[in-house]
Structure formats: C-alpha cells, structure tokens
C-alpha cells in the first residue's frame, strides 16, 4: 500500500515507518514546511498549506502529529498549542483528503484515553462517554475533526492511545534514570490506574487497523491488563533490580507539574481494548512484568 504518515519523526511515527518499510509499503512522510526527503510531502496546518499532489493515489493515512502534552507546564499558551495542533491540524488534513481526486480508503487518526477523563475504578470501553476535563474536551474535538473525512466515505479509526512504554522516549524513558538511581516510588496513593501499551504493540495495532476493514470509529489502544501506579512502580523496580522506596506525595506532583501532573500522573483511567479483542488482535506484551523485562533488555 501507499501510506502517508504525519508525525513521522516522533517516537511512534519513526517506529511505524520502520515497520511499514520492512513490510514493503510505500511511505509518504508528512513533514512540516517544505519536504526535504525523497518521497515526503510538506505541510503547514497553521498556514493552511500542503503538497496535496503528493497525496494522490494513497490507500491510507496515519495521522500522529500533535504538540507534546508531557513537556512543560500547562500554561494558557501551552494548552492552546495542545488543542490547536490536534484539532486544527486534523481538520485541515481531513478536508484535504476529501478534496483529492482519489481520496484514500482509510484514515487512522491518533486520539488518547484522555477522552475518558479521571474515572477512578470505572471500566471504560469504546462506548463509555467522554469525561469533563481539559484533555477530554481536546480529545472530543480532536476526534470530531475527522468527521468530514468519515462523511466523505473514508473509513476513519480514532485510536485512543494509552501510556506508550518505550525506553527510547515518553513516560518510561523519563522514569529510568531516577529508578536506576534507587529514587523511584509510587506517586500519590499509588492506586490510580494506568492504562498502558508498549511501542511494539502500538505499531502492531496500527498495522491491524490498516488491515482490518471492519474497524472504524474509536479503538482503545491499550493492553488488556491495566495496572495501578503502585503495581507499575513495583514492576519497574523489579525489572531494574532497584528498590522503589521513595514515594512522591500527591501535593508535590501538583506543585512540580501543575495541571499536567493532575491529568497525566494522578488521574485514574481503567481502559479496556474491546474493539481490538473482538477483531482478534494478539498482544505481544499484555503483562506489565513481561513487557518491562522485554523493553529494558534493549537498554
């Protein structure tokens, strides 16, 4: 297939490109500004420009681009960038695809389990309504931005992605140094539930969605076995052979990280991958102990 990928230089995008090329697919990276690489297409959603001619003949698009939510405090300006990079960029790309002479059959667009908000121990699947905080509002608008593509007959998958585990980036990479130094520990009560997925499985899920014509709408991209923060802490300490005796009180997490800490570290979201299970996706890493042992062999 000929597949375009936005956010191709990010953690997920670069791993996906490697997999697509290994499987002999033709890849068109969507890059900001003027395309420099062979076969790439340039775009600037803020300016409303895109090299749409290079998108003709696509079978699918995987849209991963968006402002990193886990860097810096969530000031008003940062929150605007988080929202605009997702909502405006996705809407612009979706509209562009519908105007091609040969629109692609499939659009896989990133979303996040932030859609559900802080739900405590409540089990959330793809039928669960949205939460009522900042990330939930962003995710609702983000997913709604693909509606124009859906209405044009493009199969749209909104991937609600959990905490992506990789030693190469994201949350796990940030935790490794303090945990290796013996400074790791639970955050707050440790009872908040984290719904996670390894980078390998996330790439596998994207490939599964590309291949599975029956999948459309929201798809939870998480392991079937969510864990509490305390369980994750214990598993990471075990994988690193380090003690995890230095907890971070909730008030300190709020003081250091502000609203971001509340939303990403202290909130609890127990998400189930119903759609993936019903369509037969086989997880490579469904158990947190096995997943961390596998990932940390790379380091």
95-123 pLDDT tens trace: 999 999 999 999 999 999 999 999 999 99
* Span 129-177, pLDDT tens digits: 999 999 999 999 999 999 999 999 999 999 999 999 999 999 999 999 9
Give the closest residue to 175 by CA, choosing from 240, 259, 263, 131.
240
Give the closest residue to 262 by CA, choosing from 171, 87, 134, 150.
134
Q: What is the C-alpha separation between 158 and 146, in angstroms, rounded?
A: 8
Mean predicted confidence (pLDDT) in 268-277: 97
- Give this prediction's pTM: 0.94
What average pLDDT does the chain have?
94
pLDDT band at 35 (very low <50, low <70, confident <90, very high): low
Is the confidence at residue 39, as pLDDT, over 90? no
87: left (phi over 0), alpha (psi -120 to 50) or beta: alpha
- Written as six digits, the tokens of 114 are 């932030």
CATH number of 2-294: 3.40.50.720
Q: Reduced to 3 states, what is the DSSP secondary structure of residue 126?
A: coil
Domain ranges of the chain: 2-294
- Written as six digits, the tokens of 221 are 């991209």
Residues 6+ apart with CB under 8 A from 291: 165, 196, 198, 223, 285
Is the confidence at residue 298, as pLDDT, over 80? no
């Amino acid at each position: 297939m000929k597949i375009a990928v936005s956010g191709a230089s990010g953690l997920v995008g670069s791993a996906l490109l490697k997999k697509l090329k290994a499987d002999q697919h033709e890849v068109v990276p969507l890059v900001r500004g003027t395309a420099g690489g062979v076969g790439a297409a340039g775009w600037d959603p803020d300016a409303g420009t895109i090299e749409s001619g290079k998108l003709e003949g696509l079978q699918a698009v995987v849209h991963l681009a968006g402002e990193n939510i886990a860097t810096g405090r969530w000031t008003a300006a940062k929150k605007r960038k988080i929202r605009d990079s997702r909502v405006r960029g996705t809407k612009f790309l979706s509209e562009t695809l519908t105007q091609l002479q040969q629109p692609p059959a499939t659009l896989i667009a990133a979303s996040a389990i932030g859609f559900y908000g802080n739900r405590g121990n409540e089990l959330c699947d793809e039928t669960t309504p949205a939460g009522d905080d900042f990330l939930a509002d962003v995710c609702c608008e983000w997913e709604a931005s693909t509606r124009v593509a859906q209405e044009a007959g493009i199969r749209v998958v909104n991937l609600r992605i959990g905490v992506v585990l990789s030693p190469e980036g994201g949350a796990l990479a940030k935790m490794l140094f303090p945990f290796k130094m013996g400074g790791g520990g639970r955050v707050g009560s440790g009872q908040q539930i984290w719904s996670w997925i390894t980078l390998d499985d996330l790439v596998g899920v994207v490939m599964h969605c590309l291949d599975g014509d029956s999948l459309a709408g929201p798809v939870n991209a998480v392991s079937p076995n969510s864990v509490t923060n305390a369980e994750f802490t214990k598993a990471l300490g075990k994988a690193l052979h380090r003690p995890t005796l230095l907890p971070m009180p909730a008030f300190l997490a709020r003081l250091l990280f502000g609203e971001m800490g509340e939303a990403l570290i202290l909130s609890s979201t127990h998400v189930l991958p119903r759609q993936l299970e019903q369509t037969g996706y086989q997880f490579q890493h469904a158990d947190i102990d096995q997943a961390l042992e596998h990932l940390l062999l790379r380091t």
